[in-house]
Amino acid sequence: MNKQHLKSLALELRAEISVDPYGVFDPYALAELYGVPVFQIGDLDCSPAARAHFAGPAVSVFSGALVPMGDGATVILENDAHAHERRRATISHELAHLVLEHDFDARLVSDRGCRVAKGHQEQEASELGAELLLPAAAALAHARRDSSNEDVADAFRVSVALATWRMNSTGARKRAQREREKRASSGLAADLRVTP
């Protein structure tokens, strides 16, 4: 699926939970709508040692997992020791794999992305997950207002790293800059025309 299709799909999914392209996306609401339960490590009756492991020394090893239940059903497990913004990104990424109907045995996410995923599928899911959180159209609107990456992160409840990446990778900053330069040069030309 190309980037344009992923953009359209993200807007479709946002609309399904009544969020326009400029609103804050709630991945938990989409998971609920799609009937996919989301569980937190901290709420499971796993061993205290395992819970402590992923909340402490191995916190970056495990962000989340998309887990098939063996009968077509799927659940998501997330590491609730992570910051809220990061958890939102993890769930969005996992939902992207689900909506794109990527084949998988089980998918574990760490700092470096999914451990069990094909390269092109991983790229698609990263793009769709990010587009869900911060659509290209919204990135452009903020670039035109010259919003800082911190303000964008705050507005969409994403990390500053994700906001910075989106503001650049969508081409929003460059496009807004070009538009400003064009306006400035056409304004200059108009000034020259009225100068006696």
| Residues at the contact surface with another protein, assessed by CB under 8 A | 16, 33-37, 39, 41, 43-47, 49-51, 53-54, 58, 61-62, 65, 67-75, 77, 98-99, 101, 105-106, 108, 110, 112, 115-116
Phi, psi of 95 (to 5 degrees): -65, -35
Shortest spacing between CB 58 and another protein, in angstroms: 6
Measured from the CB atom, the residue of 49 and 192 that comes closer to another protein is 49
Measured from the CB atom, the residue of 68 and 187 that comes closer to another protein is 68
Measured from the CB atom, the residue of 36 and 143 that comes closer to another protein is 36
Shortest spacing between CB 181 and another protein, in angstroms: 41
How far CA 164 is from CA of 62, 148, 177, in Å, comes to 23, 9, 16
Shortest spacing between CB 98 and another protein, in angstroms: 8
Measured from the CB atom, the residue of 98 and 132 that comes closer to another protein is 98
Residue 166: closest CA among 182, 145, 188, 142: 142
Residues 64/91, Cβ–Cβ less than 8 Å: yes
CA dihedral 109, 113, 119, 120 (to 10 degrees): 90
